[in-house]
Amino acid sequence: MAGKLMHAVQYERYGGGVAGLKHVQIPIPSPKRDEVLIKLEAVSLNPADWKIQKGLLRPFMPRKFPFIPATDVAGEVVGAGPGVHKFKAGDKVVAFFNPFTGGGLAEYAVVSENRTVARPEEVQPHQAAGLPIAGLTALMAITQSAGLKLDGPDPNDPVQLAKLANAHVPATCGSRNIDLVRSLGADEVLDYTTAEGATLASPSGRKYDVVIHCANGIAFSRLEPRLSENGRVICVNADARTMWDYAVKTITLSKKKLVPLVMIPKAENLETMVNLMKEGKIKTVIDSRHELSKAEEGWAKCMDGHATGKIIVEP
């Protein structure tokens, strides 16, 4: 496809939010050694995407400008570079891009073969695109950081993962999501918009052995009194305050632990979840779907921080 152009969405500098996104026509990339060229069918937005644009990971990300954001994709292989053995043109796949280079908000993109897994025809692209970051983070939090053994992992939601590990699961959410969280299997649901729910105390009076902490603005000091003697808080969105609390708890040999989570994506874990999706055992909760020409709508929704499920852009 040398010389042909594609539609992409990029930004040229830090900041700008939705207004900083630009629709451009650029050459379709050519796959290098060990890379495949994918015609993208669905792209999942993650909070990390707008945080990189805002400059929260400056100067490490992005590697250079202009930058095409988004890393979690599903599509069809249309080309392969030298050294590629697992995929050929026509194969349906799901992939996770290198966050330093991005590339998802476009009609085509290249990705390393070892970051790509096969997608069975039973798995729809918008469902598959929601798997990589959210699914692998939840899986790592439950199985590695929390040490729970699953009967079979669910991709995006720690509630369902914990239930598959036969745990008793209280969960917190706003009032509009109570029914959804209950449907995912939570044994108790705390509405954090109420005075009682804001205390984070279990309605059953139990202490928490493990807390998967996904929200912003809630300090470890608020959770610590709710923990069991050897309880742990696994923090998905670690910030400077989290790292300070982690250091203090480590130095003081506290029995109650704070564990910052650093997700390391592995293709074999993604392949496991894709196969479970094929079997109908899991699904991705979708908040909204947007055309690439209206990617700004999805970007704004992601920045707002109140999406219920994954935000999908479809080239």
**pLDDT of the residue at 276:** 79
Class of domain 133-260: alpha beta
> Which ranges in the chain are annotated with CATH 3.40.50.720?
133-260
DSSP string, 135-168: HHHHHHIIIIIS-PPPSS--SS-HHHHHHHTT--
Within the chain, all domains assigned CATH 3.90.180.10 are found at 5-130+284-314
Q: Measured on CA atoms in the order 139, 162, 200, 178, is the torsion positive or negative?
A: positive
Q: What is the pLDDT at residue 286? A: 94
Whole-number pLDDT of residue 33: 97
pLDDT mean by block of 10 residues, the chain; 315 residues: 89 97 97 97 96 92 95 97 96 96 97 96 95 85 67 50 66 87 86 89 89 84 92 85 86 89 87 84 89 98 91 97
| pLDDT reported for residue 166 | 63
- CATH code reported for the domain at 5-130+284-314: 3.90.180.10
pLDDT at 148: 65
Which residues, listed in sequence order, are joined to residue 35 by a DSSP beta bridge? Answer: 112
Instruction: List the structure tokens of 68.
Output: 């095409």
pTM of the model: 0.85
